[in-house]
Structure formats: C-alpha cells, structure tokens
Structure 1
Amino acid sequence: MPADDAADSDRAEGTPGEVFRAFLKLGVTSFGGPIAHLGYFRDELVTRRRWVGERDYAELVALSQFLPGPASSQVGFALGLLRAGPLGALAAWLAFTLPSAVLMVGFAYGSSLLGGVLGSGILEGMRIVAVAIVAQAVSGMARTLTPDARRASIAVGAAILVLLLAGTAGQLAAIVLGALAGLALCRTPAEVAPAPLPFAVSRRAGVVCLATFAALLVVLPIAASALPGPAFDLADGFFRAGALVFGGGHVVLPLLQAEFVGADWLTPEQFLAGYGAAQAVPGPLFTFAAYLGALAAPGAAGLVTAAIALVAVFLPGMLVLVGVLPFWNGLRSRPGAQSLMRGANAAVVGILAAALYDPVFVTAIVSPASFALALACFVLLVSWRTPPWVVVIVGALGGVLLALA
C-alpha cells in the first residue's frame, strides 16, 4: 500500500489519548527551535507512526510558514486535527506545550530567589546568550527570507522604521508596509500547488474562526482599557503579539518587548533572562509567554496570569490556521498572496534585526568581556552547531565568571 494511502487509513483510527501521548513525548524531547521541531515531527509521526504521508506533511509545513503564529505548534495542531478531530488538535497543543510552559513558570518563580554573585551571574549569562540566539536567528532568517536586493531593502526599511517609531505601532506599520512593498516589488509566477490537504473543515467553520480572530483584535483592547486588573491587559498584549508573528518564534521577542517592557510590566533584565532560559527547554519558544505572565502577578496569582498569557499568545495562530484551511488550496496559488508574504517576511527580518540592537544588545553587552562571551556563544551556535541548551549552560557559567571577576 502506498505511504500516503496507509497514512490516510491509519488517520481515521486516531484518538485524542493517542495524540496526547505522542505529542507529550515530543514535548519533552524536541530541543532546538521550530525547524528542529518539524524534523522531530516528521521522524515520529510521518516516518514511524505514518499518521500522514510525506506530501501532506510538506503541505502542512508550507501552510504554517505562510500564516502568522508559531510554525511548529501550528503543524502539531493540524496533525492532531487530522488524526483525531478537534479534541485531537487540543490534545496535540496541550501535550507539546505544557512541559516547556511548566519549566518556564518554574524559572519565573525561581529567578526571584536567585541572589548574590551566583544568581546575578547566571541571569547576566542568560542575557548574553540572548544576544547570540537572536543574532543567529537574524542571520538564518536573512538568508532564507531576504535572498535578493529588493527583499533586503524591505528589511532595512522595516528596521529603520521600528527604530524610529518605537512600540507596537512601529512594528505593525513595518509589517503592513513591507507586505505592500512585496506586492509591488516581489512578484513572480505562482508556484504550482500540490494536491489539496485532506481536512474536514467547512467553509462556515473557517469563517467563524477568522471572524473570532478579528473580533478579539477589536474587543480585547476595549476590555483592557475599560476593566480593572491585569487579566485583559495581558490577554490583549499577548493576543496581539501572537497575531503579528511571521517568520518564526524569535519574532515574538520584539513584539512582547514592546508590549510589556515598554509598559513597565517588568525590567529589560528580567525579560532577556527569561528569553535566554527559553532556549534551554524543549518545545515551542512561545512558552516564553508563560514566564512573562507568571511575573505579572505576585504569588499564586502568577499561575493564573501565566495561563492567560500562554493561551492568548497561541490562540491567534490557531484561529487563523483553522480559518484558512478551507480556502488554502486556492489562496496559495495566487501570485498576489505570495508577493504579500514575501514582503511581510522580509519586514520581520528587519524587525528582529532592530530588536537585536535594542533591547537585546544594549541591555546585555555592558563590557568587552560580555561582548566576548556573546561572540563565543554565537560561534558555538553557528559554526560548531552546538545545541542551544548547551550554549545556555555555557553562557550561564560564563556569566558567573564575569560576576566573580
């Protein structure tokens, strides 16, 4: 029996429990960021379990790259949906997300207990590691998303705009203008679309999800301004950040920094320490939101705000994914849609490059020694292909040595 046919027959027998167990295994073992996650998914679910065929899996990956949101989590959500319906999709997301979310909440509570030379050194090392991680992300994304002069120019323009117009407004303007520039400058013949994805999602369900996405973008800011307490402020900020992330999980860094550091929710040092820690845990980088949410309220209330942040940052990507599924096969063949995405993806490279300077570099690099440690971590990541969690440990130890010096 052909691989795709076998996958189709196996898929009909899936259960939410089976999906949860499979993704829990992936959630505790998938280190290395979204590209590595997609490799783990392929090995476990395409090659070994044969839930889907290679063709369908490749199409899911293409779809996740087109949409805003965390690419690996969207692919996992879609695989759960294919395997066991809506409950399977929820099981896939929960199992893949919870391990790293729990670790990040634990770090949020533990970081407040870190004191003295040892604690300050570890946190300083985390901030320095963030410099290397973001520099690697900018370098890799630039090679993929800005391979020509036109898209490189869009990226530079976006970086300049974000540096001059701080905050979410500048980032949103950069993405919109980048998409429009792509429509004008990056037109190529449409790619040949593969066979349709076998999702049983109706157009009505898709429209409802897209309408919910749009309604929340409007309603949450109104609720945040009208109602007291941090819950709606957090939901609004994290939902908006999740709605604007194109090009990979690292792009959430400048969006969340603009939302919460600029609004005095936490210090730049706390922000970058958590971002560095997020590199050392398995699972999606978006669980960084759980760390930020836990710091937004004292004591046990931090668990509630962490849950709000976690759901809010993932929800827009999942709503858009389900909303687009019934229309995807026709949409991706349109040259205009492809050109818009080329421009938007180039713009996010510029946004991340601007974030590499401020807040990442200016906050973490305060001496020649800290710059040297950042360079060493960057070489370990890029040239030696060292796993990020190992580099985090090296950075933390280096930070302790800098604090003792």
Structure 2
Amino acid sequence: MKIFDIGFDEIESYLRHSGWQRSLAGPLAEIWHPAHDEDSSVLVPKKSTSPDFSTNLKILTREVSRLENRPEADVRLEISRQFIDVTDLRAEDEEIADGTIPLTSGIGLFNSAHRLMVSAAAAALQRQSYYGNSMPRAAHKHARRMRLGQTRPGSYIVPVISSARFGSLISTEFDEPRLQASADESYFERRMLTTLSRALETLSELTVNRGNPPPKSDVLDAVDEGVSSELCSAVLDAIGRGSVDVFDVTFNWAPSSPAPNGIAGKVEFPGESARIIEKIEGDLKEADAPAERVLYGVIRRLSLKKNDTVGHVALETVLEGKTRIVNFELPLHIYRRAAHYHGERRPVVVRGILDATPGRRPTMKVKAFDADRSVASFDDLSAPE
C-alpha cells in the first residue's frame, strides 16, 4: 500500500495510540518514550517544512521499528494512515496474473468503486429502494471527495481513500450537548462507509449460500439497511458484467479513531451470486416505497408526561447545511433508550418521514432510532489526550 503524507499530527497520533508518552515538548521538536521504558526515546520533528524533516522522520521510524520490534515499512505505513480510511475492492479470477486484469474486468471494478460510493452516500442521506433520477445531488458531491489509491497485488485490488480527520462533534461549552455543524460534515464519509458496510453485509446475507432469490418482503426489509437497486448494480459491475470469480470489499479504518461498532470488516460476493443479485436489483427497482430521510445529531430535550404512551424528543441535527431542531415521538421502550443516550451525550441516528415545510418546525414520523454507531461516544470524543 502507498505511503501517504506524514506530518507531526500523524506521528503524534501513532505514538499516542501505541502507548508512547511525551517526555519533553518544544516549538520545533518533542521527545517521546515507550510507556515502560523511560531510558529509550525518540526525537519527533514538528515542522514538516523544515529541510531536515525527512531525515529526522527516517531516523524516527527506524528507532520506533527497533524498539517495537516491527518492520520499518509497517511502522511508516501505519503512521501515514492515522487519518485515512481505506476501502479495498478486490477482484479474484483465474485470469488475473502478473498484476494484470482483463480490460472488461478492470472497467467493471472501477465502475463498481464509483457506483458503490454514490449509492452509499445516497443511503446515508435517505433510504430508498431505487433512486433513479431522484438520486440526491449531495450523494455525487460526497462521492467525489473519495480518492483512488494505486492498484496493488493480491489478485487485483483498488483502494478507495477517504478522510478520517474529524472535528469536535459536540461542544462542551453548554450544560446540554450542542452539535457542531461544521464538524458534523467531517463525519459524513465515515457514516457513508458504515452505511456501505452494513448494506453489503445485508446483500450478502440475502444472496450468498441461498439457492433461490429471497422473498420480496426480505428484499424490502433490506432497504432499511441501505440496500438499493443502485447498490446491487454496483456489485454486478464487478461480478456480473465484470465476470470475476470473487469480488470482496474490505474496510480498513483509520487507527486514529475507534472503528464503527457492529460493522463487518470484509464482505465477499462469489460470481455465482450474480443471478440472485440481478433478481433483487429488479425487485427494488419496481418497489413502490416512500423515501426515508436519515438524520444524525444529538438529543437536546426529552419530555414524558404521566400516563403518556410516547415520549417527545427534540433532536439537534443539520438540515441543508444549517443546525435545526427536529421534533418526533418515540414509544416508551425506545424513549428509554433515547434517555440513556441523552445521559451519555451520545450521538444518535434517526430515520423516517421528514416534514420540513418552510415556515414550520421540522417534525419526523420515526421508523428507526439508535445510537450513531459510525462515531465514538461523546465520552470517547471528548476524552483528554
């Protein structure tokens, strides 16, 4: 894998997450030592624009490699990946040899990469069985932020690179948690990949090891997890129209932040699953189901009156680039969960039919509510270094 740019932030993050401790700090450099070995230390350069930064970086990685008893190349790669999520799309086929791939298979794999990211971005914004001409413009905007890394051996691997450099999601200046709109935007790519992982896992459950297409009720339920006709088409670009034996997607989360909870690290589709995926693709395209918005945010207020069967929730979220309050009701057993997340100051995600009529307070008829598993808890996000 390609070594990405390395600066002081990457070095500091790597050392901190690897159990090193800062001994001395200055304007141009710092001294760090292993947690249980104060007699050993490394010099950490701080100014990447300095003429000797590259030389000092080589010395640093060599010393860290020696003290951690790890290959120097592995240390340098992990340092460079601190704020990068890498999603590997891999094609396996008996025709793939010597680092090459048939032209049609390569075209299918690269098309799959683009369409997977667009469908994932769309599903992170709103759940829909088939987007067609109603594909959110923001889905294409977010997908364009993703970068393609250099292909590499291992059958044939195309890495998709996204930023995992997050801002402070929740402000601590107030008694109640307050959402930071600009920081919320920085989390979108991670939420997008979390959605993609769960959607691919769900599609795999519907297709792999099944001899027959699933019932339409199961297919429609899969929309809740981000499966769409467009997602199916993206997978088919690789295993159907690309005609490879196996297509798999591996999620390599940035070491600087906790990996999303409950998410598969790798999802695989054998070529023989194409027939069932094509059937699911058609079923989703023909389905007549309302689109459901997905909102991410923090709970600002809770209200439950005596003898009520539902609780009232005010969610602070971002709509059209602005922080807004969206009100909705939850049944008691889910409301109690919301109260728990509110007490933890934990980010949440809610899905349903949004009414954001101009001039009125936005409301939502909720279909699903849970913690936002794509980000860490508030305590994790605000923990001191």
TM-score range, shorter chain: under 0.3
Q: Comparing both chains, which one has the higher relative contact order based on Cα–Cα distances under 8 Å and sequence gaps of 6 or more?
A: 1
Task: Judging by fraction of residues, say which structure has more strand.
Answer: 2
Larger radius of gyration: 2
After TM superposition, the score normalised by the length of structure 1 is 0.23
Higher relative helix content: 1
Structure 2 length as normaliser, TM-score?
0.24
